[in-house]
Structure 1
Amino acid sequence: MSPQGDTPTTGEDDWWDKLYDRSAPDTASGTAAGPPGRGRAPWEPKGPADDPPGAPRTFRLPRPRVEYVGDGPPTYEPEPTALPAARADELDQLVADTVLDGARYGTYTLRAASVRGDSARYRGEPRRDALLTARFGTGEAALVLVAVATGARGTERAHLAAADACHWIGEAVGRSHARLADDIRAGRRGDLKSGLHRLTDRSYGRLRARAADLGVAPGEYTAGLRCLLLTADPGCRTRVFFGVGEGGLFRLRDGVWQDIEPPVPDAAAMTGEPVVGYGSPPAETRDGDRLTMDLGITTPPSPYAEDPVPPPVEPFRFRASVARPGDTLLLVGPGLAEPLRGEPTLAEELARRWGTGEPPGLAQFLADTQLRVKGYADDRTGAAIWEA
């Protein structure tokens, strides 16, 4: 037994010797690593020369950097600062700072992320955005739903309303997924638009009912909702977008971003573009995307729902287009749509990173969505589809 204060001579040294070979030569100079008389410190990772013969080589991977574009760094720090306030009896209402997901089906690869904004991180407020990625069904008949919701600004329960909006549209789509997937594969765009319009209205009806239960005005418990529907069938390249409220729908094609957000009547009237029906673009674009037309004709009840629903509060947006190999489709909430439209440098940088045709990994996609811009500090939520 060693006297008190002496350094132990067994056990610990053997452990360090196994983890950090004190006799391993430095690959650059041929000398032992580190100062004479000591082994490699715990913070000095093992290199390829330290691996025993036949063992897998270990490498030190670089950490993704969160950068910024524009004329200067943002005001807030790039990492979380304060946690949102919690109540002991409402822990199920806490929202994580970041959500990240991804998948690959058919000919496309999906990446999705939702990150709390710099302002909310600094003030200790919860993320107002919600993100849902769900697969219903199996095999080529499966249907993938991506839903992005943003709670009303300045309301106490914004994050809960956003989560409810995603949850309820997910329930509605899940119950009708077989019919929806069949309509997408068959190209029945008119049925899709009327059915999804009705499902969306039903979800908003539940939000209004929830607001009444809470004793608040409907505008205090609501959220913008934007969704993508994609089948797992590799022979089907139809991508369906629908939703209500602010945000953005973009497509990266041939290295150039296209803003393909379906216009609403008021916005189209201001730009002088023709309006077909209720918020629908022309039947076919110059790029050959075939879109659904809605001429305002009364249609029979939707096959997706039977109960009557109240009229929509905001215009319903819908677009069904055919993807091309090499396309990248991007669905975002307002916190990412605004800097993409307002800061050309951000759009250019993301086009450079995502225009290679190779989808980024999850960690890299998260870093890309956090590319910061001064003056834009809201939540960042987006889902991107890379077409092979």
Structure 2
Amino acid sequence: MSEQGARRGQEDDWWRQLYGEDGTGDGPGAGGGGAAGDAPGSGAAPAAGARTGAGPADAGPAEASDTLDERVASVLRTVGPPGWGYRPPPPPPPQPQPTPADAPDRAAPAGDAPDRATPAGDAPLEGTPSRPASERPAPPEDTPTGPVPPGEPPTRRVPPPPPPSEPIPLQATGPGTRQRDAAPSAPPPAPAVSYIGDRPPTYEAEPAALPAADPAALDELVPDTALEGAQYGSLTLRAASQRGDSARYRGEVRRDALLTARFGTGRNALILVAVATGRPAVGGAHRAARDACGWIGGAVGRGGTQLAEDIRADRRGELKAGLQRLTDRSYGKLRARALERGAPPEQYTAALRCLLLPADPDCRTRVFFGVGAGGLFRLRDGAWTDLDPVATDHGAAAPDPAPDPAPDDPARTGPGLPPGPGAAEYPVRPEPFLFHAAFARPGDALLLCSAGLAEPLRQEPAFAGHLADRWSTPEPPGLVPFLATAQLRAKGHARDRTAVAVWEA
């Protein structure tokens, strides 16, 4: 036997010891750990297209082409960022179906699974060292990560579309693009009406100058606007008082005074609303208005229980006589205060108008009394009715035969008049006493106001119509909407205004 034949025989014996007699991998190295030519420790990677199994069944052609483009793409995928150089390889040529006998030899060894599945033919260039699996870049998310079956090209993984209930948002960019029409929504609210007439009023709507303050009498400062509200039984009360446009522009103090007070509790409670207006162009007019409200409030509060009983029993004669005495006493105190201040009594006075409202839900009688200019109106079925009573008492009231002395001045006698000269020179009241009692129906609105609001309400039909439209709602307005309506402006009417409205449920 020649030397070549002997070497061939030794190789056959080594092959039988490694793979068994039939070459099916039954030996200790079963699984096809490497090719016959892969000597241990060589460290060289097999060339692309070389056989990866050493059996006779591995003699078929390579499954992928070994072109220059494929090698460049493989290098880019290895050393570049994720997704670089990826391109689907061309489909491999059709391969003959393996026979059952060849299937074990074609199975990839479990121990030699590649670190990352790559398309066939993506072997690195010759002489390029392979990188460890931990240092290789991760494959793109849209590339297949599993093995590719033979005969099928790898495809890019496309994310699933969103569910039908969630439409894909679209946004157009660039010149000439416009926003898509939005869904129709509720119409915007109507703009608030700030004035009535063809032209706006002379003065601005918002305050401009603050009144001058005395450092020694800061408690006499009057805020620009006062707002009040309450609800008892079947009635809802809203009250607002504010400076006029003229006073706001000139920095004058508000001459209107507003008082809302409750006397008693439960069904016997009595609510008093008093509105007073000082004389125009008179120093200290705001003090006279505030004093008038304070003194009539104290007098009503001391006799509140008897007044509430008279109102429930509808004793209008007793009510008129008693309220007239209380009003005369309050004006007598105004005269006395004028003499103390050294001011003429005809100037230190105020127009006074009051409402008495029982809190008892079974009593719907509303009592009005007062002296001087102003207004009393009723809003029913969207129309105004002037309820201002006609004055019948044109003379000075007779002194109270048995007055209650004031707690702060027990030495005074008569209807609050101090003794001395000048007491009989002026009437107790500057104008006749007014009294009116009305029965309120559900849905009515009773309006008590100063002359600053009564004048445009009587003289401007558009003004009266706007107030009637805003206050004829099924539910009474809130404090802020009520104030917004009450401060509606009209040219030629720039005085202070105070409005008190009572809605009947």
The structure-2 alpha-carbon separation of the partners of 1:209 and 1:63, relative to structure 1 and needing over 3 Å to count, comes to: farther
Contact 1:195 1:304 in 2 (8 A): no
Q: What is aligned with 1:308? A: 414
Structure-1 separation of matches of 2:376 and 2:454? 8
Structure-2 separation of matches of 1:188 and 1:303? 22
Question: Match for 1:89: what amino acid?
Answer: A
Q: What is aligned with 1:129? A: 256
Q: What is aligned with 2:213? A: 86
Aligned residues: CA RMSD: 2.5
Contact 2:346 2:430 in 1 (8 A): no
Contact 1:131 1:146 in 2 (8 A): yes
Contact 1:199 1:305 in 2 (8 A): no
Q: Where does 1:201-240 land on structure 2 (aligned, <5 Å)?
A: 201-240=328-367
Residues 1:163 and 2:290 are matched in the alignment: yes
Contact 2:258 2:273 in 1 (8 A): yes
Contact 2:327 2:370 in 1 (8 A): yes
Contact 2:245 2:495 in 1 (8 A): yes
Contact 1:176 1:304 in 2 (8 A): no
Question: Per-residue displacement from partner, 1:234-293 (whole Å, max 9, x unpaired)?
Answer: 00000000000000000001111000100124xxxxxxxxxxxx38xxxxxxxxxxxxxx
Q: What is aligned with 1:358? A: 475
Structure-1 separation of matches of 2:316 and 2:215? 48
Instruction: Quote how far apart the aligned CAs of 1:219 are.
Output: 1.5
Structure-1 separation of matches of 2:212 and 2:170? 54
TM-score (norm 1): 0.74
Where relative contact order (Cα < 8 A, 6+ residues apart) is larger, the structure is 1
TM-score (norm 2): 0.57
Question: Per-residue displacement from partner, 1:346-377 (whole Å, max 9, x unpaired)?
Answer: 10001111112311000000101101101100
Structure 2 portions without partners, runs of 5+: 1-167, 172-188, 407-412, 418-427
The structure-2 alpha-carbon separation of the partners of 1:252 and 1:301, relative to structure 1 and needing over 3 Å to count, comes to: farther
Residues 1:187 and 2:333 are matched in the alignment: no
Instruction: Quote how far apart the aligned CAs of 1:312 are.
Output: 3.2
Instruction: Quote how far apart the aligned CAs of 1:64 are.
Output: 9.3
Structure-2 separation of matches of 1:148 and 1:85? 24
Q: What is aligned with 1:377? A: 494
Question: Match for 1:180: what amino acid?
Answer: L
Structure-1 separation of matches of 2:436 and 2:484? 29
Structure-2 separation of matches of 1:217 and 1:66? 42
Contact 2:258 2:293 in 1 (8 A): yes
Residues 1:139 and 2:266 are matched in the alignment: yes
Contact 1:198 1:302 in 2 (8 A): no
| Secondary structure in 2 matching 1:218 | coil
Instruction: Quote how far apart the aligned CAs of 1:303 are.
Output: 9.7
The structure-2 alpha-carbon separation of the partners of 1:138 and 1:305, relative to structure 1 and needing over 3 Å to count, comes to: farther
Structure-1 separation of matches of 2:229 and 2:404? 28
Q: Where does 1:3-22 land on structure 2 (aligned, <5 Å)?
A: none
Deviates more, 1:78-87 or 1:62-71: 62-71
Q: What is aligned with 1:337? A: 454
Question: Per-residue displacement from partner, 1:203-222 (whole Å, max 9, x unpaired)?
Answer: 00000000000011011210
Structure-2 separation of matches of 1:332 and 1:83? 24
| Secondary structure in 1 matching 2:362 | coil
Question: Per-residue displacement from partner, 1:294-352 (whole Å, max 9, x unpaired)?
Answer: xxxx9x96898996327433100000110011110000000000110111101000111
Q: Where does 1:48-127 land on structure 2 (aligned, <5 Å)?
A: 65=192, 67-127=194-254
Deviates more, 1:361-370 or 1:63-72: 63-72
Structure-2 separation of matches of 1:101 and 1:30? 51
| Secondary structure in 2 matching 1:308 | coil
Q: What is aligned with 1:348? A: 465
| Secondary structure in 2 matching 1:167 | helix
Runs of 4+ in 1 over 4 A off after TM superposition: 29-32, 62-66, 300-307
| Secondary structure in 1 matching 2:346 | helix
Structure 1 portions without partners, runs of 5+: 1-28, 33-61, 266-277, 280-297
| Secondary structure in 2 matching 1:220 | coil
Question: Which one of 364, 368, 391 corresponds to residue 241 of structure 1?
Answer: 368
Structure-2 separation of matches of 1:63 and 1:200? 45
Question: Match for 1:308: what amino acid?
Answer: G
Structure-2 separation of matches of 1:190 and 1:318? 10
Q: How many residues align?
A: 302
Question: Match for 2:330: what amino acid?
Answer: S
Residues 1:148 and 2:148 are matched in the alignment: no
Residues 1:387 and 2:498 are matched in the alignment: no
Structure-2 separation of matches of 1:242 and 1:313? 15
- Larger strand share, 1 or 2: 1
Structure-2 separation of matches of 1:102 and 1:341? 25
Identity of aligned residues (%): 65
Q: Where does 1:275-286 land on structure 2 (aligned, <5 Å)?
A: 278=393
The structure-2 alpha-carbon separation of the partners of 1:31 and 1:78, relative to structure 1 and needing over 3 Å to count, comes to: farther
Question: Match for 1:204: what amino acid?
Answer: Y
Between Structure 1 and Structure 2, whose CA radius of gyration is higher?
2
Question: Per-residue displacement from partner, 1:119-139 (whole Å, max 9, x unpaired)?
Answer: 000000000000000001111
The structure-2 alpha-carbon separation of the partners of 1:301 and 1:237, relative to structure 1 and needing over 3 Å to count, comes to: farther
Structure-2 separation of matches of 1:303 and 1:386? 36
Question: Match for 1:175: what amino acid?
Answer: R
| Secondary structure in 1 matching 2:211 | coil
The structure-2 alpha-carbon separation of the partners of 1:209 and 1:175, relative to structure 1 and needing over 3 Å to count, comes to: same
Contact 1:66 1:370 in 2 (8 A): no
Question: Match for 2:266: what amino acid?
Answer: G
Q: What is aligned with 1:262? A: 389
